[in-house]
Structure formats: C-alpha cells, structure tokens
Structure 1
Amino acid sequence: MQPSKAELYTARLTIDVTPELRGRIKVVAFQQGMTVAEMLRQLLEREFPEAEQEGAP
C-alpha cells in the first residue's frame, strides 16, 4: 500500500504572492490537470534536486 500524501509531505511552506500570480499559477495547474501543490512540488524538485541526483557523492 502506498503512503498517503499527508504521510509523504510533512513540512509546510508558506509564501506570499500577489493575487495575480496566484491566479496564473492556478490556471496553469488546472490546464495541466493537477493541483497547485502538485505542480509546485514538481517545480521545486526540478529546481532543487537532491545531491545524489546531481552526481555528487
């Protein structure tokens, strides 16, 4: 059985963005068929990969 999202993601990150940016983010997430949280997790994983993924020991 796979762990739930609540079990996988236990740290919460809060940022302040403009209402316009929030709206753009929501539109893009909807167009891609995902939640804002899912889309931002993917973006953060791409931008900040684990050291092992970069070839570092």
Structure 2
Amino acid sequence: MAGKLYLIPTIISDETQHVVIPQQVKDVLPEIKHFLAEDLRTARRFLSSLKVYPTIE
C-alpha cells in the first residue's frame, strides 16, 4: 500500500499566508483525509484560514 506524505508549511503571520503558501499546497489540501499536527488548535485555525478545507471538529 503506497501512500504520500505531504509536509505543509505553517505561517508566522496571518498577513503573509497568501505569499508563503503556494497554490499547489492549497490545491492538494482538500484531497488529504488525515493530518498529524503538533498542536490541534493551531492546525485547525491554520487550515480554516486557508478556506480550502471543511470545518475540523
């Protein structure tokens, strides 16, 4: 069973996300079903700010 590991960069400031996060990353995010994150709250907030992924509970 082959899989893919995507390493998604995080941003330091909300104002820089459009410059720092490439469109290719935004395009692949909706296809990802499982995430590993160091901090759930920060990851949830980050994904929500990109507006490309449904709400994460």
Structure number with higher relative contact order (C-alpha < 8 Å, ≥ 6 residues apart): 2
* Larger CA Rg, structure 1 vs 2: 1
Shorter chain as normaliser: what TM range? under 0.3
TM-score by length of 1: 0.24
TM-score by length of 2: 0.24
